[in-house]
Amino acid sequence: MLHKTQKEALIFKVVEFVKDLTEQEIYEVLSGARDKLVEIRNQAREKKLVDLFASQITTLSERGCPKAILSVLQGQMGPVIARAKQMTFKEGRIPFLPVIPALFLSIYTQMEMVKNKTKSGRNLLDPTDLTNVVQTPKKPYFIFDVEDGTEMRGRSIADAEDLISKQRNRRCLTDVESISLCIHTDVLNRHNVDCSGSLCGPDYAPGLFLDEDGSRLGRSSFYAYSDGWGSASCSRKK
């Protein structure tokens, strides 16, 4: 934000420039400047989104993601950037994240891609016990407007799920979506993540956490709550 003295100095320069112009000329100059500024801002925003997309693909590649899966994700760049450009994001939200369904890459392999310094993550769950409570695409896809669970810290999975879906018109992240969140961010250094869009047996959902040996995918009670845990979410719109 400009300080008052900066604003006054800027106004003075503009007035000096346009003082001898007609009213129509002043209108045309200011309108042109406004349009140019909007164009510059849009270009800068698009570059940030393109850079984010490229960095996510690079991260997956460096952590051993198969080239065939990378190709599927890279092929979605145009639509992903186009959609993100039309959205607005609160501070701290992630515009988009790539997600790999377990049918394409097991959660064992994906958890190895979650790094805590030099340590790889590990899955502690039986994949056959996992089910999703939300619908997701069958092929690799992207989720948008991702909140990493900070807003839901201290809430049980049951309470967070209700708040996210009914009051905020968003949806909870599944196990593989939460794994993606942990691959591409350092969220686990701040808090653990409830994967409230999935279940792993009665009254439990998957949860990502850190222990002394690295990141882990284990069980989280549906009704327990702790400030160290939070349910992550994304935009409901496909």
* Residue 106 within any structural domain of the chain: yes
* Residue 220 within any structural domain of the chain: yes
Among 69-73, 78-82, 95-99, 218-222, name the one with the lowest average pLDDT: 218-222
> Could you tell me if 139 and 101 are in contact, meaning their C-beta atoms sit under 8 angstroms apart?
yes
- Please give the pLDDT value at position 84: 96
- Which domain covers residue 184, as residue numbers? 67-235
Residue 219 pLDDT > 90, yes or no? Answer: yes
* Residue 199 within any structural domain of the chain: yes
CA distance 182 to 173: 12
40 pLDDT band (50/70/90 cuts)?
Answer: low
pLDDT mean over 18-34: 73
* Residue 47 within any structural domain of the chain: no
CB contact set of 35 (below 8 Å; sequence gap of 6+): none
* Residue 54 within any structural domain of the chain: no
- Please give the pLDDT value at position 9: 74
User: In the chain, what percentage of residues exceed pLDDT 70?
Assistant: 93
Q: Name the burial class of residue 125, with classes exposed (0-12), middle (13-18) and buried (19+) by CB atoms within 10 angstroms of its CB.
A: buried
Residue with tokens 């994906």: 110
- Please give the pLDDT value at position 83: 96
* Residue 60 within any structural domain of the chain: no
Rounded alpha-carbon distances, angstroms, from residue 92 to 78, 147, 148, 197, 232:
24, 7, 8, 21, 12
* Residue 145 within any structural domain of the chain: yes
Residue of 136 and 31 predicted with greater confidence: 136
| Lookup: tokens for 32 | 């042109």
> Could you tell me if 108 and 126 are in contact, meaning their C-beta atoms sit under 8 angstroms apart?
no
- Please give the pLDDT value at position 38: 64
- Please give the pLDDT value at position 14: 73
Q: Where are the alpha helices (DSSP H) in the chain?
A: 4-18, 23-62, 67-74, 77-85, 107-112, 157-162, 175-184
> Could you tell me if 101 and 136 are in contact, meaning their C-beta atoms sit under 8 angstroms apart?
yes
Q: What angle do CA 134, 135, 138 make, to 5 degrees?
A: 135
User: In the chain, what percentage of residues exceed pLDDT 90?
Assistant: 71
| pLDDT tens-digit readout, 153-186 | 999 999 999 999 887 889 999 999 999 999 999 9
Residue 237 pLDDT > 90, yes or no? Answer: no
Structural domain count, the chain: 1
| Lookup: tokens for 24 | 């129509």
| Lookup: tokens for 147 | 């909140």
Give the side-chain half-sphere CA count within 13 A for 96.
30
Average pLDDT, the chain: 91
* Residue 219 within any structural domain of the chain: yes
